[in-house]
Structure 1
Amino acid sequence: MTTKTTPSSLPTALDHLIARSVERAGGWIGFDRFMALALYAPGLGYYANTLAKFGHMPSSGSDFVTAPELTPMFGQALAAQVSEALEKTGTDTVWEFGAGSGALAVQLLHALDGMGRGDVRYRIVDLSGTLRERQQQALAGHAGRVEWLDELPESMQGVVVGNEVLDAMPVQLLARVGGKWFERGVVRNAAGDGWAWADRETGLRPPVEVPGEHDYLTEIHPQAKAFVATLADRLKKGAAFLIDYGFPEGEYYHPQRHMGTVMCHRGHKADGDPLSDVGLKDITAHVDFTGVALAGQDAGLAVLGYTSQARFLLNCGLLGVMEQGTVAERGMAARLIHEHEMGELFKVVGFGVGEPWEAMGFAVGDRSHTL
């Protein structure tokens, strides 16, 4: 049974929890710790509380829409790559991380059934108990094939999918101020009723040198890299496809990108202040795909490819899928590939265990050379 937490009580309870963490740490915590509590504190963090998150419009009480909620054609196209990967790796299980509303799982299972892959099992690894309840409702028709886990097993085989998972992993903030590097963290504000930024000098640096002497704010991604390394260690046979918004490091740490990429989402509006309305809105950061790819490669995975979401979905047959839809349905699916929508900002990186193979999603327009 899940205890309902009202929006009015969320900030107070979460504020007290973060305050205790700050006090125990001597008055300052890194932003990664703050972000972890804001998003994942049991029952209170954004992804752990009962507030609505996914949906098309603010009127639904949601904060943002992801590709699977936008159109089922996303899952239909992705299923072609998943099916190919299952065959190439000789496995029969799909693993999804951070399954959200369960929409992608429903789409993949339905599409795989249509491809004659009714034997495929589905396992969801999700930290959110409240989202798990929603996923179970969405997947009621596939109940016998779906299993939920709270953490990665020691050993696993199959095809891993993760849509907008890496961007929600806590990041450390690095600020170059007056030519010196600092880690930007969080303290109590002067009034004692909220949060403020505070910098501490650090030996941490971005993975590449940022030219110039101007003030510069950016992120590093140890948790995302650790996740990929752990996945590489546990995945004994199979492949993985991670979809998210981000850049290769040459673009990520460009001298002109001096304001960082941390962003919040609430009511389908974006803002850049993660220290306000804590627990009531999403906090994300763009993904450094070079760092993610190297983490997988260093841990023994083969990089199957890297490309834009648009090119990946087109390679997987999205246009053919769109031809079967209505004009309105095709219009929604077009948002997946339009450059000014999701098509270019979102990227896909693929990994395989053992010898690499030619994955269909990267057949045309592979950008691995840019990593």
Structure 2
Amino acid sequence: MSILETISDKVQSTIHKRITFSDYMNLVLYDPHQGYYGSGKVNIGPKGDFFTSSSLGQDFGELLAEQFKEMADILGYPNNFTLIEVGAGHAILASDILTYLEKKYPKFYQNLDYIIIEESEALIKEQKNYLKHINKITWSSWEDISNNSVIGCIFSNELIDAFPVHQVIVQNNELKEVYISVKDNNIQEVIQELSTPKLLDYFQLINIDLTTQYYPENYRTEVNLKALDWLKTVSNKIKKGYLITIDYGYIASKYYHPQRYQGTLSCYYQHRYHCNPYVNLGYQDITAHVDFSAMEVQGNLLGLEILGLTQQELFLISLGLGERLADLSSNKYSLSDVLARRDSLHQLIDPRGLGRFKVLIQGKGLSKIDKNIILSGLKQNFI
């Protein structure tokens, strides 16, 4: 059965012969047999569909490792610290973090617990093969982790942007929703009433009203309800520690600006960017920017206090990326190595690319003293 047939069967099984765009996106990305992520077809790197920070060398993981070590020291748990990576992809980041910690902080590494939470069985198999030389990692699910048990840090890199999103559209000063139907083997959009009142609740949460005169007719955008549910799951697990979310996105006033009338939905296929989510089914990435205001407000309601929101460029420089660039001027490296690594480091902080990504750090269960300590990664600037 093709992925289109799977979508068609899903559509036909519903009363109104349509599914939400969120359900459609979930199928083409996370179907265990044919979805882009679910089947393990996701392709990252020079020969893939897109780059991530971890695909540009070890520096990104090593600088993150420095932040994790500092967090453990602040909490006073250098020998009992849990790191949970959510959505580990090809496991490059996990390898870079642990290899660095083992070499530079062997005592901390020895007592560190590293857990990967991954939904795709295909990716879990690939991760276990890639990390077979590291006897430090366990794979788990949220259900296996007790509530109020994690002392440490839960983190993700480019995870939230790949969550399935609802698409909404403004018509006649009213908020409608975009649905998907299939006719004659062709995917068609259908505009109807909202599928859930949670979509209205979302805009109340971030204090945005799309039905005012400032928004044009057929203004279209996205709502990531799964991100809010995910935050609830994460907050329930943390007893004392941090949550780091690294992704591209905006605060709500910029995300839902009237001039951004087509939303942020994007597709990536073989390093080509386009905006058609109805082609290359199961073979392309589909993403939407992250609404960091929603992450902050929802997190605060759940007991996750915001410690800082900054740009990846400033975050990595604060953790020592500048010193790494300066070190390349020494005579320790060959010219080819210097050129390649310098290019990678500059890509990590390029304000037109990865450097514009946001880094949101939230905390839970921290003492007043711990909350007042500014993490190294947040010392450059706050947004």
Q: TM-score normalised to the size of structure 2?
A: 0.87
Match of 1:141, SS? coil
Deviations 1:261-303 (A, max 9, x none): 1111111111111122211111110000010111111101121
Matches of 2:42 and 2:173, distance apart in 1? 43
Q: Residue 46 of structure 1 corresponds to which residue in structure 2? A: 36
- Structural mapping, 1:1-371, within 5 Å: 12-26=1-15, 27-57=17-47, 62-89=48-75, 90=77, 91-116=80-105, 117-119=108-110, 120-142=112-134, 144-152=135-143, 153-155=145-147, 156-157=149-150, 158-189=152-183, 192-202=184-194, 204-205=199-200, 206=203, 207=206, 208-210=208-210, 211=212, 212-215=214-217, 216-325=219-328, 326-344=338-356, 346-355=357-366, 356=371, 357-367=373-383
The alpha carbon displacement at 1:213 in A equals: 4.3
Deviations 1:31-83 (A, max 9, x none): 111111111111221101243511223xxxx2111110122111111111111
Equivalent position amino acid for 2:360 in 1: V
Gaps of 5+ in 1: 1-11
The alpha carbon displacement at 1:154 in A equals: 2.7
Equivalent position amino acid for 2:348 in 1: L
Matches of 2:342 and 2:57, distance apart in 1? 9
Deviations 1:148-177 (A, max 9, x none): 113352334121110001001111111012
Match of 1:197, SS? strand
Matches of 2:233 and 2:142, distance apart in 1? 11
- Contact persistence 1:124–1:146 (CA under 8 A): yes
Equivalent position amino acid for 1:339 in 2: P
Matches of 2:301 and 2:318, distance apart in 1? 27
Distance 1:193-1:296 versus aligned 2 partners, 3 A rule: same
Match of 1:96, SS? strand
Matches of 1:261 and 1:337, distance apart in 2? 22
The alpha carbon displacement at 1:348 in A equals: 0.5
Matches of 1:109 and 1:229, distance apart in 2? 28
Equivalent position amino acid for 1:22 in 2: V
- Contact persistence 2:239–2:365 (CA under 8 A): no
- Contact persistence 2:42–2:285 (CA under 8 A): no
- Contact persistence 2:266–2:286 (CA under 8 A): yes
**Which contiguous aligned blocks of 4+ residues in structure 1 show a shift greater than 4 angstroms?**
none
Distance 1:21-1:112 versus aligned 2 partners, 3 A rule: same
Equivalent position amino acid for 1:94 in 2: L
- Contact persistence 1:98–1:162 (CA under 8 A): yes
Matches of 2:245 and 2:142, distance apart in 1? 18
- Contact persistence 2:215–2:258 (CA under 8 A): no
Matches of 1:42 and 1:108, distance apart in 2? 28
